[in-house]
Structure 1
Amino acid sequence: MSTTLHIPPQLRDADAYVLNNSAGKDSSAMLHLWATSATDEMLERTTVLHLDLGSAEWEGVPALAAEQAAAYGLPFEVRRRERGGLLDLVRARGRWPGPGTPFCRSYLKRDVARKYYTELTTRLGVTGRPAHIVTALGLRATESTVRARRPAVATDRAASSGRRQITTWLPVHQLSTDAVWKTVRASGIPPHPVYRQLDRLSCKLCPFAGRNALITAARMAPDTALDYALVEDEIGQPFRRDLSMARIIEAAEREDPGPVRALRPCGAGVRTLPHRTGACAA
């Protein structure tokens, strides 16, 4: 695998580079490749941005994202939605995010990032033309058909304005999972412990995850699972149309979910869910 990142010519003279870092394997690989391939001038204009998902996020994620940025001497910023997290959104809307309505991404990530771009534009103080900001995301084509169709470089017209041009770049779009892990290992920064049991570092309990992954995650984060089940009862809507959180909890208590592709075998000391009485199955 090449350790050099191809940086498109049209991105080489941007005023600022924002590397969105979730602390997951893809973001970590992207960060390592950028830090070891970009010029000194580019690195001087780089900021690592972590969009903190609050209680929906695994413990230690913001700290790991900060550690990854510090390893390369890059400035680190954290931003979070000011008007509450995922469960606040679910209560307000009376439903959970779904395939056709992934409002968690727009409210907790996209809108928060755009607010940061406004802040950064003011800070840059570019005059006479729009400031050019490149925002890099660790999305890969092999993750889904939707992501496979995304162009590696595109202007984010909705986030751009007369004061700024936002270009979205997917540096690791064509990398295989194998290549990503090789890059992570080359960085020398240990991945998050969640990867011992799950193949993705997403929200603790993501509606877009598979059933086996959700059962495993419920065992790993029993308090969060119970919180979600209570909100599920409160709004009268299941976590997923085909799978309620109550059923996920029940399965976590009694089933072996089977293998979930993990970086290495599951370790000892995994917490189990206490028995929950009065669960309302969808």
Structure 2
Amino acid sequence: MTSRGQMALDLPGIDDGPDLASYRWILANISGGKDSMAMLDELVRQADAAGVLRDRIVCVHADLGRAEWEGTRELAAEHAAAYGLRFEVVARTGFDLVDRIAERGMFPDASNRWCTSDFKRNPVLRLMTALVREAEKTGHLGRVRILNVMGLRADESPARRKLRAFSHDGALTCPCQDCLLRRAALESAERRGVPCPKHRKPGHGASNTLRHVDTWHPVHSWSTADVWAAVARSGLRPHPAYADGMPRLSCSFCVLASRPALVRAAQLRPGLAAEYAAIEEKTGHRFKCDLSMAEIIAEAEASPAVTAITNWQG
């Protein structure tokens, strides 16, 4: 452990973090889960230390509908209120996630996580647009600086381990110097008819001519024990799903979850499991290529209740 309560890991982008006072808006993405609880507490602690007024911090919850654990939206609102922070809810227009799966006739998977882009990222981008307009109405001139803060951690998955703790969310339309250089590199490669290395390309992120967006994961290198210690210090109320054995508060049935976690979820939410099984039967598309919801339900009915699931991914 380091002096800042973080694991001493060889992680990309570990630094002192952003200058919080330089942002017009600090957007805290809160899910109601333990990692977002720890993130929110750490963010508020650092913002207070930097003299940032709390009215510049906006908590946002991406509502997935009945795919979420019951009471998640209300719990996220409770967490924001505990710090006196503004709370916004965003959602995809139209169907919730369960109905959208039925409409598409297919479940998300690890290589095609359209659930994240459609139900989280894009609705949050719309909120960023609204916040830019709100700043402009108060007389803000120039691009609006937004810090997008999330509770992603390195030890959750190999993909999250590769994330930088602090980075610019660049894009083709972003006029900052870094994005201009990246765009020039892409154009040069295209003129020469050669591939542009991925690390040199401009991104497809949230920044544009009206807003400069950076992304920060303040608990990126924290361990699970660090997170629970922060939750205990914060006094925030965890979701009951943790006491029921779930290791994470993702969707009740996440396609990235391990078999034991899915079986336990089916024991806790048999009605929703039955909805997913009905979608499988109607569409002919399995919940996971190697595991159907029908199999999960059968195992849940035949297995005793488990008080703690240790592995999330599987």
Normalising TM by the smaller chain, what interval? 0.7 to 0.9
Alignment check: 8 A CA contact 1:29 1:183 kept: yes
Instruction: Give the alignment partner of residue 56 of structure 2, picking from 39, 42, 45.
Output: 45
Indicate which of 9, 27, 37 corresponds to 1:18.
27
Where do 1:75-90 residues align within 5 Å? 75-90=86-101
Q: Distance in 1 between matches of 2:295 and 2:279?
A: 14
Whether 1:234 and 2:282 are equivalent positions in the alignment is yes
Is the 2:17–2:216 Cα contact (8 Å) retained in structure 1? no
Using CA pairs under 8 Å that are at least 6 residues apart, name the structure with larger relative contact order, 1 or 2: 2
Cα distance between partner residues in 2 of 1:173 and 1:135: 14
3-state SS of paired residue (1:38): helix
State whether structure 2 residue 21 is matched by structure 1 residue 8. no
Corresponding residue of 2:241: 194
Larger Rg: 2
- Counterpart in the other structure of 2:207: 160
- Counterpart residue type for residue 94 of structure 1: G
Within-5 A mapping of 1:172-187: 172-187=219-234
Q: Distance in 2 between matches of 1:225 and 1:91?
A: 13
For residue 210 of structure 1, report the CA deviation from its aligned partner. 0.2
How much does 1:107 deviate? 0.5
Question: 2:270 matched to which residue of 1?
Answer: 222
- Tell me if the contact between 2:247 and 2:310 (Cα under 8 Å) persists in the aligned partners: yes
Given candidates 98, 103, 106, the residue that maps to 1:95 is 106
1:42 CA displacement: 4.2
Q: Which residue identity does 2:254 align to in structure 1?
A: C
User: Alignment partner for residue 162 of structure 2, among 149, 155, 160?
Assistant: 149
1:182 maps to amino acid: A
Q: Distance in 2 between the 1:88 and 1:111 partners?
A: 18
Q: Residues 89-128 of structure 1: matches in 2 within 5 Å?
A: 89-125=100-136, 127-128=140-141
Distance 2:117 2:166 in 1: 20
Q: Give the counterpart letter for 2:291 in structure 1.
A: L
| 2:308 aligned with 1:255 | no
CA shift, 1:80, in A, is: 1.3
Contact map agreement 1:49 1:76 (CA 8 A) in 2: yes
Q: CA deviation at 1:129?
A: 2.0
Residue 211, structure 1, aligned to residue 259, structure 2: yes
Give the aligned length: 261
- Residues 152 and 42 (structure 1), Cα distance of their counterparts in 2 relative to 1, 3 Å cut: farther
SS in structure 1 at match of 2:75: helix
Task: Using the TM superposition, give the Cα deviation of residue 234 of structure 1 relative to its aligned residue in structure 2, in angstroms.
Answer: 1.1
TM-score, length-normalised on structure 1?
A: 0.87
**Correspondence for 1:267:** none
**1 CA distance for matches of 2:305 and 2:159?**
27
**Given residue 180 of structure 1, which amino acid in structure 2 is its aligned partner?**
V
- Cα deviation per residue 1:202-232 (whole Å; 9 max; x = unaligned)? 1111111000000000010011000111111
Superposed CA offset, 1:103-157 (max 9, x none): 1111010111111111111111165421000010000000011000001112222
Residue matched to 2:152: 139
CA distance 1:215–1:123, shift in 2 (3 Å): same
Q: Equivalents in 1 of 2:24, 2:237: separation in Å?
A: 31
Please say if residues 133 and 166 of structure 1, whose CA atoms lie closer than 8 Å, have aligned partners that are also in contact: yes
Per the normalisation by structure 2, the TM-score is 0.79
SS for the counterpart of 1:12 is helix
List per-residue Cα deviations over 1:159-200 (Å, max 9, x = no partner).
Answer: 111001111110110111100000000011221110011100
Secondary structure of the corresponding residue to residue 41 of structure 1: coil
Question: Identity percentage over the alignment?
Answer: 39
Q: Match for residue 11 of structure 2?
A: none
Take 1:69 and 1:135, find their aligned partners in 2: how far apart are those partners?
16
Q: Residue 181 of structure 2 corresponds to which residue in structure 1?
A: none
SS at match of 2:95: coil
Unaligned runs of 5+ in 1: 263-282
Q: Is the Cα contact below 8 Å between 2:147 and 2:213 reproduced in 1?
A: yes
